[in-house]
Structure 1
């Protein structure tokens, strides 16, 4: 069962009671995504008028995609965005999320309702491809500049946090490509290093001491 939860910054997250996991930090879904994926990820790679290719592991609530879309419109970033999700949310779940009202936007539901497994030109500077597939069998078809790694935790999905998976991602990225993730566990950091990344620890959002930024050199 998927339950709607209000986090401490006033934004929603979802709780999967079957797996016992949240989609975001209960200390604040919005501030967590902004810190990890926008500030440490997007801002470090994007430049006005220059295309950046982004891959997101875990479309989930669509929050990371929404935030990236808003930044693209605000700063004239040219974004080619691919996101993968094995189990898309049902419509009654994503329609209940309050991100649009908090951010002054109206695109979360339309992003969710775009057809899967095809590319969409959402605006002249933002294209979106949502892929309904398991990362373990997904085959990259283009080189990525930035990866948002937002899978469920290693305790819940250990198969997605392995050296093998990170090496697959590493090989799919351009030189100086960046991967950001909320999980800073030693096993994750070691897997990233073993796959070839230079790994940095950065201060996390409220309630989380540190998060990881990995760079392909």
Structure 2
């Protein structure tokens, strides 16, 4: 199904949708299961390991909004406040967003709609201690002043978008973390691990989501 000039809707193995970017020849999420990948990497290995209250989250790659939706769901279930700042340089069209089934599968259609209807470059405080800011900006050109407790690094794969995985951008993300802050990503390349160590992080190689052997979590020293 064609949903945009550059992206096509696909169904992953857990029944949740993802998108295939024709230009990059890459999917937004794992074909083995979009929801289960995001839950495994960003929620289970990242968000729920943080002890801060509220938890301040920096996301590189808003994309489909799935990670933000899962974060909101986790926050509501755990009664733990979250402050989300999510960067995106190339937002998807409303038509593409409306075709995704995350809200339906996760029984959170209202929140999925709220997240995507919120304007860019404004912080909105919702009930239950949930705060969301979607930032329409290029991560390479943005200065980050606030300190965060967890980074979701969710750019396209290093082989497809190498400019997002250079040392300077990885270091910028790490520098935005509080001491003991957590950096999580689905990628587990040797170069990424070396760059994280160079940036002052203690690196852990963890089992990846279904279909992927490994992922990376790093803790700021």
Q: Is the counterpart of residue 111 in structure 1 residue 110 in structure 2?
A: no
Q: Given the alignment, which residue of 190, 193, 211 partners 1:189? A: 193
The SS at the match of 1:95 is: helix
Supply the distance in 2 between the matched residues of 1:125 and 1:196 (Cα, whole angstroms). Answer: 31
Query: What is aligned with 2:171?
Result: 167
Structure 1: distance between partners of 2:145 and 2:175: 11
Q: What residue number does 2:7 align with?
A: 2
Quick one: which of 101, 108, 125 aligns to 1:98? 101
Counterpart of 1:21 in structure 2 is 26
Matched, 1:83 2:75: no
CA distance in 1 between counterparts of 2:95 and 2:126 reads 23
CA contact (8 A) 1:11 1:99 kept: yes
Runs of 4+ more than 3 Å apart? none
Cα offset for 1:180?
A: 0.4
CA contact (8 A) 2:76 2:128 kept: no
2:19 is aligned with 1:11: no
* Aligned counterparts of 1:121 and 1:46: Cα–Cα separation in 2: 21
- Larger mean CA deviation between 30-39 and 103-112 belongs to 103-112
TM-score with structure 1 setting the length: 0.96
Change (3 A) 1:56 1:122: same
State how far apart, in whole Å, the 2-side matches of 1:45 and 1:22 are.
Answer: 28
Cα offset for 1:164?
A: 1.0
- Long gaps (5+) in structure 2: 1-5
- Deviation of 1:46 after TM superposition, in Å, equals 4.5
Q: Which moved more, 1:78-87 or 1:102-111?
A: 102-111
How many residue pairs get matched? 215
RMSD: 1.0
Matched, 1:153 2:157: yes
